[in-house]
Amino acid sequence: MSDYPAEILQQALPGVQRLQPYQPGKPVSELERELGLSDIIKLASNENPLGASPAALSAARAALDALHRYPDGNGFALRQALAQQHDRDIDWITLGNGSNDALELIARVFLGPGRNAVFSEHAFAVYPIVTCVCGAQARVATAIPAGQDQAYGHDLQAMAAQVNEDTAVVFIANPNNPTGTWLASGPLKSFIGDLDPRIIVVVDEAYFEYVDQPDYPDTSLWLDEFPNLIVTRTFSKAHGLAALRIGCALARPPLTDLLNRVRQPFNCNAIAQAAALASLKDTVHIQNSVRSNKAGLAQLGQSLSDRGLDFIPSVGNFISFHPGVAQGTGRGFDGQTVYEALLREGVIVRPVGNYGLPDYLRVTVSTQAENNRFITALDHVLDKARAVK
């Protein structure tokens, strides 16, 4: 509304005024409305194509009978199960409305005017959002250059160079979204150990279950060694509970006590807690999900490689690729144009220009059939683009 009084908007906190809202993947229903399409596949939000565990679905349905009751505000049963899984006491666990909520709790406790947070270029979009909304400064480290191992991933030396006396939090995504790059145990542990121990180090392990690399660390095992470490996990990815928004943070009890002081009452609903608890017990579903993702990741990687398309090798459940380098055509097809053309084919992927990768698109690993549908649609789009050129 152009006639809305500017002086009212200027009352918003400076950090909020500078923010760009988080852009989620386009919903299927929105594309149906816009283009009148049906039979749409969504490969934009790194969701588990196998869905939730049958046990989780059953638990969620059972929880519907108590919709008139408030959930357990302390999440005792789920926290206890998570604590047992990690061989910790229950007071090492903080529940969040998705791991995004846990990241925001950390920012609210430790960031503010006069402080800064350090994170990598091309890292998860929530890090700058929670930093700026708290009035803190974002110090963004240059990522590993193209052409090097783990290109576009976290450059730990560059991140260390951004740390100064005002740094309160360092955010690390391992593996990182949207690049799918990862950090090995030795370099990451050395990086954390070299930091001022007063700095809170957050290792975001949203895609932990999918990683199949011999030197990939489970940093929750480092909590005894580093009292300034917080590890976040989610049920949105491998567990397939994205719609319920449930995640957690693991840290020493003094830190979880601080997080719980700013955590909203009943931030995790009863259905989410029940489904997450059942999903933790269904290890077969997780194994099947990981197995399916491994096959799909290989399928997409091989298909992109066969077409001469540049992509970032990933260990998550997604791949970011460049549609402009195809069979010697040169850098002629920009990501946004191909994204919009794929929408008209009924395939939703994710443009990642807001992550500083404007030429790339990110595609979620799905079933063999949906992966094939994506590749067929991409071939169609690129063939039409070549014909025009």
CB 86 within 8 A of CB 218: no
Residue 28's pLDDT is 80
Q: Are 269 and 68 in contact (CB under 8 A)?
A: no
Q: Hey, what long-range contacts does 331-338 have (CB within 8 A, 24 or more apart)?
A: 331/359, 332/385, 332/389, 333/382, 333/385, 334/358, 334/359, 335/359, 335/360, 335/361, 337/385, 338/378, 338/381, 338/382, 338/385
Read off the tokens for 16: 């909020």
Q: What is the dihedral of CA 352, 243, 36, 345, to 10 degrees?
A: 40
CB proximity list for 381: less than 8 A, separation 6 or greater? 323, 338, 341, 342, 345
Task: Tell me the per-residue pLDDT of 341-356, one tens digit each, with 9 for 90 and over.
Answer: 999 999 999 999 989 9
How many beta carbons lie within 10 A of that of residue 161, not counting itself?
13
Of 180, 241, 188, 185, nearest in space to 211 by CA: 180
Q: What are phi and psi of 121, to 5 degrees?
A: -55, 145
Tokens of 274: 């029940």
Residues 109-133: tens digit of each pLDDT: 999 999 999 999 999 999 999 999 9
Residue 327 has pLDDT above 50, yes or no: no
- Residues 6+ away with beta carbon under 8 Å from 10: 17
Per-residue pLDDT band at 388 (split at 50, 70, 90):
low
| pLDDT tens digits, 159-184 | 999 999 999 999 999 999 999 999 99
Q: Token pair 């925001």 is at which residue?
A: 104
Output the average pLDDT for the chain.
93
Across the chain, how many H-helices and E-strands are there? 14, 13
User: What's the pLDDT at 12?
Assistant: 76
* Residue 58 pLDDT class (50, 70, 90 cuts): very high
Return the biggest CA–CA distance within the chain.
63
One-character DSSP codes across 316-355: SSEEEEETT--TT--S-S-HHHHHHHHHHTTEE-EE-GGG
Residue 238, pLDDT > 90, answer yes
pLDDT of 93 higher than 60: yes
Q: Which domains, ranges and CATH numbers included, belong to the chain?
A: 6-38+285-388 (3.90.1150.10), 54-282 (3.40.640.10)
Kindly tell me if the per-residue pLDDT of 389 is higher than 60: no
**What six digits make up the tokens of 185?**
């145990």
Token code pair at residue 51: 């869905």
Q: Is the Cβ–Cβ distance between 245 and 45 less than 8 Å? A: no
pLDDT of residue 22: 63
Task: Indicate the pTM of the whole model.
Answer: 0.93
Omega before 54 cis (within 30°)?
Answer: no
> What pLDDT digit, counting tens, does each position of 139-159 carry?
999 999 999 999 999 999 999
